[in-house]
Chain A
């Protein structure tokens, strides 16, 4: 991967976006950054025929992330999966969509199981075989958090990828610690004086990962698959614990159109609600600037989980609070070019 085209200055100054879509097309970027979905060189590690919902952000994210990791590892890769949507929709017995060695153990232990796999590769004389662990936000930020932090602090040679769809979607859309404020879930119903998820709760695990001073932490989005692949590739160039947190819209859980998955993922970035950055050894090294800033209402209005904020035509004061969160992210991470 060449460094120059990836640097922000180059990408930002050229403004190589297809008109109206803000998508960077293959034609417009360097050879090194291009990806071709139908390329015969793709490992298709997560192959077709799985049972994800239409428009599933997680399936898209996983397909690109794992193929990029496979490429970086020269196809010498083992995946460990936490319980969750990704596990369920890819391996309904006796079928599997994984064209790679793949292990599912439990909901909360993917990071620890991956530690064991990586250790086994070292002691059995296969140090070239790398290990990736993956889970949803529930399996990562909640039930698997102890094992994740343990794997981080030991600096085990594992790339952990969290596909964050902001809730327990596999069990029927319940709140996780990654569910944003005001969002409706089955356990944060739109009832009472504070409908939806409560403000002032939740956690942003990428920040906590950075605090572990591990070699590499990044956030990424299915709205920018080039960036996602580049980050996975970068992550695979390090030894030790690495973490990538991918924002993956969930049409079912968010109450959104299946055709809006990419749009929502992009709006999450462009509003400032989901900061996209990279950090190495505990320091932020790169921030993806917002290309065309959008108000949070553009993002919220596409999702039924926020519908209660827009009832009756009177602006709900909580929309302003969400805008304030986005503004704070923009200020904190420097998401807008000065």
Chain B
């Protein structure tokens, strides 16, 4: 049924339709509304036969989910940002044990400086943990991906993270179709674990593995992910057939057929990029977009095919590896390895810590990349003046103080100067 509803609430209701049996809740912005929402559905009986457990940390949240999943229950939790890092050890553990837990990640920046707004730093920080990572473009997809995620996780016995842009999706009101329980049940069968703690058939799970077998155990994790591409596509197609709309899959191309210039991005930013592309297409500019849904496993083959005809590829990262640049750009570069006529790769870092990415900025960025591409990552809408002042200031004094606070001071001073100038101009 179509409803005007907050993204988090839509996700909560869709997650409840997936009949999770153990839900672990710990608050962290911007994911909190999701667990609150599922909690209400457990309390009012909508989601029956479910244990809703308020835990004392994210580390405990995922640990409870690990125990529940290993004991044969469908387990779910949600987190964001610092919370994901706080549970990092358990994130790797769930993947190493092969437990099909589903977790929503309300994508948010990582401190310091502390920042509650959206970017992809959290998902990127744990991209090598062995979880499947799916990125939602819209709130409809954010809700739908959870249904696919449970099915995918359980078929593969690999934990799956649904990455949803914090605030941009989690807190936005949109028109969303919440599916019927019957259709969800038809798509998602009950959880049938491949390994389970069972008193009738006792087994040890989580034994110490030495150099003689560790590589093989790890290789199987790699093998499972590398052979899952077709399954991910199939599950998306089955979803489309049953639910009547597109969700999931590896990636989606937008006007790439004749595009020499193709943008690659993940998450909600794709909506804005499509608007810009529409405007540029109206000017007969051959530009297209590849919107990546599945980041882990990284669909190298699918990307190569999608970008085969591109001359230039601009990768948009909503995260920064300070010692390297954009993580997504680094991954796309790997896809270009050994590719005939590989396109030129350009990298841009956008929307860090919730900075709005406007159509105007993106349009300027795309046009500049077409005529005068840059070396290294380009930081969209970087305030060069403030950076220059702070670098200059730091060069003058050893005890230059904390960078974040200094930049805020500079900005404040500039604002005050502007206001004074305006007042003087007005008075004159």
Interchain CA distance A80-B69 in the complex, whole Å: 13
Produce 1/0 per residue, A212-243, CB < 8 A to B.
Answer: 00000000000000000000000000000000
In the complex, which residues of chain A have a beta carbon less than 8 angstroms from the beta carbon of B213?
A: 93-94
Contact, CB under 8 Å: B67 / A112? yes
Contact with B along A73-116 (1 / 0, CB 8 A): 00111101100000110011110101111111110110011111
Measured CA separation A112–B72 after assembly (Å): 16
Per the bound structure, the CA–CA distance linking A114 and B49 in Å amounts to: 19
**A residues 141-157 touching B (CB-CB < 8 Å):** 146-147, 149-150, 153-154
Contact present for B207 and A120 (CB under 8 Å) = no
Number of A residues, CB within 8 Å of B: 44
B263 to chain A, nearest CB (A): 40
Residues of B within 8 Å of A101, CB to CB, are 197-199, 201-204
By the criterion CB–CB under 8 Å, are A150 and B204 in contact?
no
**Interface membership of A287, Cβ < 8 A:** no
Collect the chain A residues with CB atoms within 8 Å of residue B64's CB: 112-113, 115-116, 119
Q: Give the nearest-CB partner of A109 in chain B.
A: B63
Partner of A98, one of B71, B89, B202: B202
Given known contacts A96-B204, A154-B53, A105 and B197 CB-to-CB distance under 8 angstroms: no
Determine which of A93, A98, A115, A116 lies in contact with B208 in the assembled complex, contact meaning CB atoms within 8 Å: A93
**Looking at the complex, which one of B54, B70, B203, B204 makes contact with A117 (CB distance below 8 Å)?**
B70
A129 at the interface (CB under 8 A from B): yes
Which residue of the partner chain A has the closest CB to B94? Answer: A105
Q: Does B90 contact A (CB under 8 A)?
A: yes
- Asked if B209 contacts A93 (CB within 8 A), the reply is yes
Q: Is the CB of B199 within 8 A of A106?
A: no
With a CB–CB cut-off of 8 A, which chain B residues contact A318? none
Shortest distance between the CB of B60 and any CB in chain A (Å) = 4
Interchain CB contact under 8 A, A119 and B22? yes
Number of interface residues of B (CB under 8 A): 43
Contact A98 B204 (CB under 8 A): yes
Q: Which residues of A contact B22 (CB under 8 A)?
A: 116, 119-120, 123
Is the pair B210, A105 in contact by a Cβ cutoff of 8 Å? no
Taking a contact as CB atoms under 8 Å apart, the answer to whether B60 and A75 are in contact is no
Taking a contact as CB atoms under 8 Å apart, the answer to whether B59 and A147 are in contact is: yes
Chain A residues in 8 Å Cβ range of B54: 154
Q: How far is the CA of A124 from the CA of B199 in the complex (A)?
A: 13
> Does B68 make an interface contact (CB < 8 A)?
yes
Contacts of A109 in B (CB 8 A): 59-60, 63, 66, 90
CB–CB B71/A78 < 8 A = yes
Q: Does B50 contact A (CB under 8 A)?
A: yes
- In angstroms, Cα B60 to Cα A81, docked, is 15
- Residues on the B chain within 8 Å of A302, using CB: none
Q: Which residues of B contact A93 (CB under 8 A)?
A: 207-210, 213
Q: Assess the B202–A113 pair: CB atoms within 8 A.
A: no
A52 in the interface, Cβ–Cβ < 8 Å? Answer: no
- Tell whether, in the assembled complex, residue B67 and residue A105 are in contact, meaning their CB atoms are under 8 Å apart: yes
Whether A78 touches B56, Cβ cut-off 8 Å, given contacts A112-B63, A119-B51, is no
A320 to B210, CA, bound (A): 47
A121 adjacent to chain B (CB < 8 Å): yes
A78-B197, A88-B208, A93-B213 given; A147·B60 CB < 8 A: yes
Interface membership of A122, Cβ < 8 A: yes
- Whether A116 lies near B75 (C-beta < 8 A) is yes
Q: Are B60 and A123 in contact, with the CB atoms below 8 A?
A: no
- Of A76, A103, A108, A147, which contacts B56 at CB under 8 A? A147
Q: How far is the CA of A273 from the CA of B68 in the complex (A)?
A: 39
Asked if B72 and A87 sit within 8 Å, CB to CB, the answer is: no
Give A26 to B199 CA distance when docked, in angstroms. 31
Q: Which residues of B contact A92 (CB under 8 A)?
A: 207-208, 210
Query: Is B73 close to A, CB under 8 A?
Result: yes
The residues of A that contact B201 with a CB separation of less than 8 Å are 101
Q: A93-B207, A124-B71 are in contact. Are A113 and B63 (CB under 8 A)?
A: yes
A116 to B23 alpha-carbon distance, docked (Å): 9
List B34-84 residues whose CB lies under 8 Å from chain A: 49-51, 53-57, 59-60, 63-73, 75
Do the beta carbons of B97 and A105 come within 8 Å of each other? yes
Question: Counting CB contacts under 8 A, is B21 at the interface?
Answer: yes
What are the residues of chain A within 8 A of B210 when measuring CB–CB? 92-93
CB distance from B113 to the nearest CB of A (A): 26
Q: Please tell me if the beta carbons of B202 and A117 are within 8 angstroms of each other in the complex.
A: no
Chain A 146-188 near chain B by CB (<8 Å), digits 1 or 0: 1101100110000000000000000000000000000000000
A291–B207 alpha-carbon span in the complex (Å): 42
**Chain B 1-42 against A: per-residue CB contact (8 Å), 1 yes, 0 no?**
000000000000000000001101000000000000000000
Query: Closest approach, in angstroms, between the C-beta of A97 and any C-beta of chain B?
Result: 9
Task: Find out whether the CB atom of A106 lies under 8 angstroms from the CB atom of B90.
Answer: yes
Shortest Cβ distance from residue B119 to the other chain A in the assembled complex, whole angstroms: 28
On chain B, the residues within 8 Å of A124 by CB distance are 21, 71-73
Q: Is B427 an interface residue when CB atoms closer than 8 A count as contact?
A: no
**How many Å lie between the Cα of A245 and that of B53 in the bound state?**
26
Complex alpha-carbon distance, A124 and B196, angstroms: 12
B199 and A119 contact, CB distance less than 8 A? no
A121 to B53, CA, bound (A): 14
| Interface flag for B206 (CB, 8 Å) | yes
Residues of chain B lying within 8 A (CB to CB) of residue A114 = 67
Name which residue of chain B comes closest to A78, CB basis.
Answer: B197
- Establish whether residues A116 and B68, one from each chain, have CB atoms under 8 Å apart when the complex forms: yes
Contact call A117/B68, Cβ cutoff below 8 A: yes
> Which B residue's beta carbon lies closest to that of A149?
B56
Chain B residues with Cβ under 8 A from A149's Cβ? 56
Considering the complex, which residues of chain B in the window 302-354 have a beta carbon less than 8 Å from any beta carbon of chain A?
none
Once A104-B206, A106-B90, A124-B73 are accepted as A-B contacts, the answer to whether A119 and B63 lie under 8 Å apart by CB is no
A15-B73 Cα distance, complex, nearest whole Å? 51
Cα distance A120–B197 in the bound complex, in angstroms: 10
- Which residues of B have CB within 8 Å of A120? 21-22, 67-73, 75
Q: In the complex, A156 Cα to B362 Cα: how many Å? A: 52
Query: Which residues of B are interface residues toward A (Cβ below 8 A)?
Result: 21-22, 24, 49-51, 53-57, 59-60, 63-73, 75, 89-90, 93, 97, 197-199, 201-210, 213
Name 8 interchain pairs, CB-CB below 8 A, sorted by A: A98-B204, A104-B207, A112-B60, A118-B67, A119-B53, A119-B67, A120-B73, A123-B22
Closest 9 CB pairs of A and B: A116-B67, A104-B206, A150-B56, A120-B71, A112-B63, A109-B63, A120-B73, A113-B67, A116-B68
